[in-house]
Chains A and B, each alone.
Chain A
Amino acid sequence: GAGVSQSPRYKVAKRGQDVALRCDPISGHVSLFWYQQALGQGPEFLTYFQNEAQLDKSGLPSDRFFAERPEGSVSTLKIQRTQQEDSAVYLCASSSSYNSPLHFGNGTRLTVT
């Protein structure tokens, strides 16, 4: 079956622009996660959804970052007024339950110029 799909694959934004990154999880997966991976680093947790409920957003670096999953499937990560330090790969992952492994998408590489 289809894996986790993320779009766009690449995004270039000028500093100050808003961006929206999309994640289509595996069908039926209730848990959805967003991670930020800077160059040469491990993924850093941003936020976690269980169905449509955002249960943990402790990793969001500032109030410019906002995530939603209104119908419990597709999720969008929005970054307002992008800054150069936001340049990273943004990874989405889903799982069927809390003790099931995460399945990752290929990520969206965001470059802020």
Chain B
Amino acid sequence: AQSVTQPDIHITVSEGASLELRCNYSYGATPYLFWYVQSPGQGLQLLLKYFSGDTLVQGIKGFEAEFKRSQSSFNLRKPSVHWSDAAEYFCAVVFGMDSSYKLIFGSGTRLLVRP
């Protein structure tokens, strides 16, 4: 079955520390991969996406993610976290094309930033 897993419900890091949020998916082919961020009371903002090509993709706000086909993973990273990065982060995967196009979200990881 197609699925997206974010194994960490909460992560707490100190401001200035590095960050890695995990995402794994289950799918027979190479999917389209996304990371979104959601601040309280706000909609979802796209951080970055992977369709094909270079497996290390750069996004907004200093985030990057690496697609690893062998591990079915698309982990999000940031070298130095800022207090404003505290939010909920969702990994999302497109399964199917055209008429069966469907973006499936993981359950999210809440990032807390210590001063």
Which positions in A face B, CB cutoff 8 Å?
4, 31, 33, 35, 40-45, 48, 50, 55-56, 91, 93, 98-99, 101-107
Q: Told that A33-B103, A56-B99 touch, could you supply 11 new A-B pairs with CB distance under 8 A?
A: A42-B90, A42-B105, A43-B44, A45-B104, A56-B100, A56-B101, A99-B32, A99-B97, A101-B34, A104-B45, A106-B41
- A residues in contact with B107, CB < 8 Å: 41-42
Contact assessment for B108 and A41 in the assembled complex, using a CB-CB cutoff below 8 Å: yes
| B interface residues, Cβ below 8 angstroms from A | 6, 32, 34, 36, 41-46, 49, 51, 90, 94, 97-108
Closest A residue by C-beta to B100: A56
Query: Which residues of chain A have C-beta atoms less than 8 A from B105's C-beta?
Result: 35, 42-44
Q: Chain A CB within 10 Å — which of B36, B43, B100 has the most?
A: B43
**Chain A neighbourhood of B100, CB < 8 A:** 55-56
CA distance A4 to B97 in the complex (A): 23
5 A-B pairs with the lowest CB-CB distances in the bound complex, closest first: A42-B105, A104-B43, A104-B44, A106-B43, A98-B101
Known A-B contacts A42-B90, A106-B43; A48 and B102 likewise in contact (beta carbons under 8 Å): yes
Q: Is the CB of B101 within 8 A of A101?
A: no
25 contacts between A and B (CB under 8 A): A40-B108, A42-B6, A42-B108, A43-B44, A43-B90, A45-B102, A48-B101, A50-B98, A55-B99, A55-B100, A91-B43, A91-B44, A93-B103, A98-B97, A98-B98, A99-B32, A99-B97, A102-B46, A102-B103, A104-B36, A104-B45, A105-B43, A106-B41, A106-B42, A106-B43
